[in-house]
Structure 1
Amino acid sequence: MDILFSDFFQRALAGGLLIGITAPLMGVFLVLRRLSMIGDSLAHVTIAGVALGFLTGFYPLGAGLIFAVAASFGIEKLRKAYKSYAELSIAVIMSGGVALASLFFTLGKGYNADVISYLFGSIYTLDNTDLLVVGIVTLVVVTVMSVFFKEFFLLSFEEDAASVSGLPVKMLNVLITVLTALVISTAIKIVGSLLVSALLTIPVAISLLLSRSFRISVILSVVIAEIAVVSGLVIAGIWNLAPGATIVLLLIALLALTLAGKKGVRL
């Protein structure tokens, strides 16, 4: 139990709580726009940036963030070029991210162990700089979402109607994708690039089953994510388990229980 009061665990808890706000908040709009897989795409690109950061001595999380934001513009450019095949943009960017990551892995054999920690998450290694970056991203995401909540709502349900009503659809699309890139690039050190999509989508999947109101669904998804993050970190800390995996498995268990309850199955 002493681990729960250690400095590194408190930093991990703070970082997890911050990502627990931003990930499902962005996830709601991604799910509604049928762009759930964008998380995997940007996560792979972020890993490529992290690998390059280790190679060049640049702050790895910062390099990953730059790569993710650049990739977000690429996704929007491709989505515009292939309007009828929006998912194609995600596949292309993901392929590029995997290719770059593989190349940098080959060039930096001495750093592979460090990069691999970002694949599965290394929340216990968060330092004050990491927390500052996560905190700034959280502030930016929450602020932008508060200001443009109604516009994002309309864009998610009916993009054509949003365009007809005079909303700057192109700018809003880019803004959502860039914010998603920021969230994913800061979340990979917490839950890992292989698991980050779960934090974006599973809380949303649960909230959509429990709520008929969009606003309540947004709030509920954040609450569910925070419960999973705190519970997962405590369980992982006490029993020496992988934190990211524990958080995701808890979310899956909550989804299964919710589905069973909706079907009237006795638990």
Structure 2
Amino acid sequence: MDIFTEYFFQRALIGGLLIGLTAPLMGVFLVLRRLSMIGDTLAHVSIAGVALGFLINVYPLGVGLVFALLASFAIERLRKAYKTYAELSIAIIMSGGVALATLLFTLGKGFNMNVMSYLFGSIYTLDSTDLWVVLVVCVLVIGVIAFHFKEFFLMFFDEDAASVSGLPLKFYNMMITMLTALVISVAIKIVGALLVSSLLTIPVACSLLIARSFKHSVFLAILFSEIAVIVGLIVAGIWDLAPGGTVVLSLIAILIGIILKRGLRI
């Protein structure tokens, strides 16, 4: 295939594989925390940062990353304020992110088409700087999770036991939210803000149907994600389709296949 010899496709494949590794890794913990929708929230806030980056002529992905981190702090703060209705924090921050992004869109002149690539993904436009940012985030996420894997496992499966054992739950909750913000902010240029939560949740949904243990579910989620990235990019490259859409549809196809194989009703 000629597309494999093209530098833009090689960069896209590298970036896609890196996000395909980190997104489901974070997604497993988010699903266990019942925070599957946090991906959409942080993605919308990141878009507001991207819009501001274009407006002030500063690296858009970097500004989006800062916005996502600030939003992660705000979400954890609001979750403590609304302990009984913790999901309100997600709804509030998403509303604020959408409102701010809309305001910045109206202030900008001539940059809206650039922002659209972050809404729907533009993996073929990844440059060396983007790849380095994605790589740094990938290494950071893998390193933190590997170092604190036992603590995260205990916290998400039995938070009361984790608290009694002396784990700083507030610190670990904030760490997970911040890592999620980093992954989402760098992933929006690859699959787009409108689809980024799919990489966090659908691979996990696939793995939970057939996994035999927690570690097995993590492994399967990453495996399904990487398969979808490779298949989606190849299909998009051959038939000139939107790569973000083909990656997500590949994930959905895997999910449907697993459900049908298990004999479950859709």
Pair in the same fold by TM > 0.5:
yes
Q: Match for residue 32 of structure 1? A: 32
Q: Is the Cα contact below 8 Å between 1:33 and 1:157 reproduced in 2?
A: no
CA contact (8 A) 1:64 1:185 kept: yes
Following superposition, the deviation at residue 4 of structure 1 comes to: 2.3
The answer to whether 1:136 aligns with 2:140 is no
- Encode CA deviations 1:3-48: one digit per residue, 9 max, x unaligned: 2210000000000000011000000000011100000000000000
Rounded Cα–Cα distance in structure 2 between residues aligned with 1:212 and 1:194: 31
| Alpha-carbon separation, structure 1, partners of 2:5 and 2:197 | 29
Unaligned runs of 5+ in 2: none
Give the Cα–Cα distance (whole angstroms) in 2 for the partners of residues 220 and 249 of structure 1.
18
Partner SS state of residue 110, structure 2: helix
| Separation in structure 2 between the aligned mates of residue 146 and residue 76 of structure 1, nearest angstrom | 23
Deviation at 1:264, TM superposition (A): 6.7
In the other structure, the counterpart of 2:118 is: 118
Deviation at 1:162, TM superposition (A): 1.2
Q: Equivalents in 2 of 1:103, 1:39: separation in Å?
A: 21
Aligned pairs for 1:218-257 within 5 A: 218-257=218-257
8 A Cα contact 1:42 1:71, kept in partner: yes
Aligned to 1:260: 260
- For the 8 Å contact 1:4–1:237, the answer to whether it is kept is no
Code of the residue aligned with 2:222 in structure 1: it is V
> Aligned equivalents of 2:138 and 2:98: distance in 1?
27
The equivalent residue for 1:166 is: 166
Q: Quote how far apart the aligned CAs of 1:158 are.
A: 2.1
For 1:36, give the aligned amino acid. S
Instruction: Report what 2:196 is aligned to.
Output: 196
Please state whether the residue corresponding to 1:194 is helix, strand or coil: coil
SS in 2 for 1:234: helix
Q: Give yes or no for the alignment of 1:4 onto 2:4.
A: yes
Whole-angstrom CA distance in 1 between matches of 2:255 and 2:263: 12
Amino acid in structure 1 at the alignment position of 2:200 = L
Corresponding position of 1:14: 14
The aligned residue for residue 96 of structure 2 is 96
- Number of equivalent positions: 265
Deviation string 1:155-200 (CA, Å, 9 cap, x unpaired) is 1122222111100100000000000000000000000000000000
User: Alignment partner of 1:83: what SS?
Assistant: coil
> Which secondary structure state, in structure 2, belongs to the residue aligned with residue 109 of structure 1?
coil
User: Counterparts of 1:242 and 1:80 in 2: how far apart (Å)?
Assistant: 40
Instruction: State the match for 2:41 in structure 1.
Output: 41
CA drift of 1:109 comes to: 3.1
Match of 2:111, SS?
Answer: helix
Please provide the CA RMSD for this pair: 0.9
Rounded Cα–Cα distance in structure 2 between residues aligned with 1:206 and 1:224: 8
| Whole-angstrom distance in 1 between the partners of 2:243 and 2:170 | 38
Cα distance in 1 for residues equivalent to 2:165 and 2:109: 53
Question: Gapped runs of 5+ residues in structure 1?
Answer: none
TM-score, length of structure 2 as denominator length:
0.98
